[in-house]
Amino acid sequence: MFFRTKLPSVSARDAHGMISDGAQLVDVREKMEWDYGHAPSAKHIPLNTIPANLHKIDKTKPVIVVCRGGSRSASAAAFLSEQGFNVHNLEGGMVSWARHGLDVVAGNGRPGTVA
C-alpha cells in the first residue's frame, strides 16, 4: 500500500454547500448501495470504474468523492488528485450525509437509506 499525503476532506454540511456552488459529487459505491440510497445530485461511478470514466467528471469544477464511510472514496480521491482534479473526500461518507439530515433518494426516486 502506498502512503500518500492526506487529501483535503470536507464535512457533509460543507459538501452540501460546495455542491450548491457547483461542485460535483461522485459516489463510488457499488450499484446495490447506490440503489438503496444516494445524494440526489451525485454521479454514480463505482470505484473500480473510475479510471475508465474520467471523461464523466468535469476537471474544471471541484469534485467531492463519497462512499459509505469514507475509505473507498479516499482511494478514489487520491487517484483523481493524481490525475489533476481538485478533489475532496467526504468525511464519514453517506453515513455522515444521512446523519446530518441531508437528502437521500433511492434508485426509484423515493426516499432512500444508506446500506
103 a catalytic residue: no
Catalytic residue among 15, 42, 50, 67: 67
Q: Which residues contact 71 (CB under 8 A, 6 or more apart)?
A: none
Three-class secondary structure assignment of the chain: CCCCCCCCEECHHHHHHHHHCCCEEEECCCHHHHHHCECCCCEECCHHHCHHHHHHCCCCCCEEEECCCCHHHHHHHHHHHHCCCCEEEECCHHHHHHHCCCCCECCCCCECCCC
Q: Would you please indicate which residues are annotated as catalytic (active-site) residues?
A: 67
